Amino acid sequence: MKTQVAIIGAGPAGLLLGHLLKAEGVDCVVIERQTPDYVLGRIRAGVLEQITVDLMARLGLDERLRAEGLVEEGFNLADGERLIRIDVANLTGQTVVVYGQTEITKDLMDAAPARGLPVIYGAEDVAVFDIETDAPYVTYTLDGAPQRIDARFIAGCDGFHGPSRKAIPASVAREYERVYPFGWLGILADVPPCNHELIYANHQRGFALASMRSHTRSRYYIDVPLTEKIEDWSDDRIWDELAIRLGPDAAANMTRGPSIEKSIAPLRSYVFEPMRHGSLLLCGDAAHIVPPTGAKGLNLAASDVHYAAHALTHYFKRADNDAIAGYSAKALARVWKSERFSWTLTKLMHRFPDDGPFERAMQVAELDYIASSTAAQMSIAENYVGLPV
Ligand code: FAS
Ligand code: PHB
């Protein structure tokens, strides 16, 4: 098979890029290792920045998002009894939308056939070749039969564990990483949220987050040591811990119920540079990971894809190579700012095992400052709704 852009990965980055390129008349194909059900079964992000909402609207795929997404005008930082509300709507004139990554992926997945976006599921042993030439290609096996796709560009949208990043020579690669000494235990339950806006809590027992997917489906997290196993966490134990960490007011409004999903995810900050080498562009988790504290992961994938779609469309439709040449620097400029925000909010809202009284005093002082300063709240708010693309 021959195409203009071969996209590896049918997560939000790969599907969003595929739709954007197709809409501009750029020929592309998406190659995915898993089945559609497996991809939809991964419970991940929940908060959308305006860039993600805008891209879905530009594609005309935002009908369900507009109908079911919860527009949030603020969120809360809890520290013991204190609740600090960050009024993002008044501070920035923007809002965020609570709408699960699963739903975004489903909307993109369901629209692919009607829009002529080929997505190949069940592709095994995907490998990338000749990215330093103008004629790279991808090989994979499908139902045991070897396949090959020749393309002008390859877009690596294959997440943190995919093959595309590894195709870039170590001689040009620069990696930056911080692995956190805890993970997030997440629970999804068909119960009404305890609060109409998100609450991020820093309690002496640890971090907690009260989020939601709808008025009837809640998503909660607590941080746990990396040694913890999900099978040691009964639903009751999770609800008990959430009630303590989120504080008495949230606990009083918390509805308990059976989990429909629960899992523990490790946290890391990670950046890979460059995000383009030769004919290979990286988008989303293939190039960077943020701790979910700032709700940036999915939204960074969206801004990467916005830049990549612009660059590839200019290459094919205007014979303009400048945007391709500038893609990595452009994407990384926004990636690093989101990495900073996610790291900062993670440091502020979590108790690190090696922290002592001084570090805790700094957290209290920072929260005191945020509680008393519009400028401090504005800084948090403009990062939370998403910096300009
Ligand atoms: P994805 O990882 O979503 O998609 C990559 C795709 O490539 C997958 O479908 C995979 O099957 C496919 N693939 C991988 N290897 C392949 C191969 N060899 N061949 C073919 N296909 C291959 N972000 C937030 O904003 N908030 C959160 O709360 C949050 N929670 C998260 C929890 C977990 C457990 C994880 C892992 C991530 C979380 N994230 C969160 C971040 C997450 O939402 C990502 O940022 C988002 O999925 C990025 O999308 P993609 O870049 O498309 O990567
Ligand atoms: C979620 O709803 O899954 C969620 C929301 C905000 C975050 C992380 C996760 O910062």
pLDDT less than 50: residues of the chain:
none
Provide the 10 A C-beta neighbour count for residue 179: 11
Closest residue to atom 10 of ligand 2, CA basis: 295
pLDDT at 80: 79
Q: Residue 98 CA: which ligand is closest?
A: 2
Find how far residue 265's CA is from the centre of its chain. 13
pLDDT at 166: 97
pLDDT at 71: 97
Per-residue pLDDT of 257-294, as tens digits, reads 999 999 999 999 999 999 999 999 999 999 999 999 99
Spell out the residues 6+ positions from residue 376 whose beta carbon is closer than 8 angstroms to its own: 369, 370
Q: Which of 19, 101, 345 to mutate to test the pocket of ligand 1 (most atoms within 8 A of CB)?
A: 101
Q: Residue 42 CA: which ligand is closest?
A: 1
Edge-to-edge order in the sheet of strand 145-150: 124-129, 137-142, 145-150
Q: Which of 75, 102, 211 to mutate to test the pocket of ligand 2 (most atoms within 8 A of CB)?
A: 211
Strand 82-86 and strand 75-79: the pairing is antiparallel
> CA-to-CA distance for 17 and 29, rounded, in angstroms?
10
> CA-to-CA distance for 199 and 250, rounded, in angstroms?
9
Atom of ligand 2 nearest to the CA of 200: 10
> CA-to-CA distance for 327 and 330, rounded, in angstroms?
5
pLDDT at 43: 86
pLDDT at 220: 98
Provide the 10 A C-beta neighbour count for residue 111: 16
Per-residue pLDDT of 223-247, as tens digits, reads 999 999 999 999 999 999 999 999 9
DSSP 223: E
Spell out the residues 6+ positions from residue 4 whose beta carbon is closer than 8 angstroms to its own: 21, 26, 27, 28, 151, 152, 153, 312, 316
Closest CA to 211 of 373, 75, 32, 103: 75
At 263 the three-state DSSP class reads strand
Ligand 2 centre distance from Cα of residue 90 (Å): 21
Ligand 1 centre distance from Cα of residue 373 (Å): 36
| 265, 180 contact by CB (below 8 A) | no
DSSP per-residue codes, 273-318: E-SEETTEEE-GGGTEE--GGGS-HHHHHHHHHHHHHHHHHHHHHH
Ligand 1 centre distance from Cα of residue 227 (Å): 23
Show the ligand 1 pocket: residues with CB < 6 angstroms: 8-14, 31-34, 39, 44-46, 101, 123, 126, 157-159, 161-163, 265, 284-285, 292, 295-298, 301
Ligand 1 centre distance from Cα of residue 248 (Å): 34
pLDDT at 81: 72
Ligand 2 centre distance from Cα of residue 211 (Å): 6
Ligand 2 centre distance from Cα of residue 373 (Å): 25
Atom of ligand 1 nearest to the CA of 297: 45
pLDDT at 29: 98
At 160 the three-state DSSP class reads coil
Show the ligand 2 pocket: residues with CB < 6 angstroms: 45-47, 198, 211, 219, 292-293, 295
Q: Residue 207 CA: which ligand is closest?
A: 2
Ligand 2 centre distance from Cα of residue 36 (Å): 23
Ligand 1 centre distance from Cα of residue 240 (Å): 30
Closest residue to atom 5 of ligand 2, CA basis: 46
Q: Which of 104, 298, 305 to mutate to test the pocket of ligand 1 (most atoms within 8 A of CB)?
A: 298
Helical packing angle, 297-318 and 322-349, nearest 10°: 180
Provide the 10 A C-beta neighbour count for residue 237: 12
pLDDT at 165: 97
Could you tell me the domains of the chain? 5-71+97-176+269-346 (3.50.50.60), 180-267+350-385 (3.30.9.10)
Amino acid 218 reads: S
Closest CA to 76 of 92, 94, 88, 93: 88
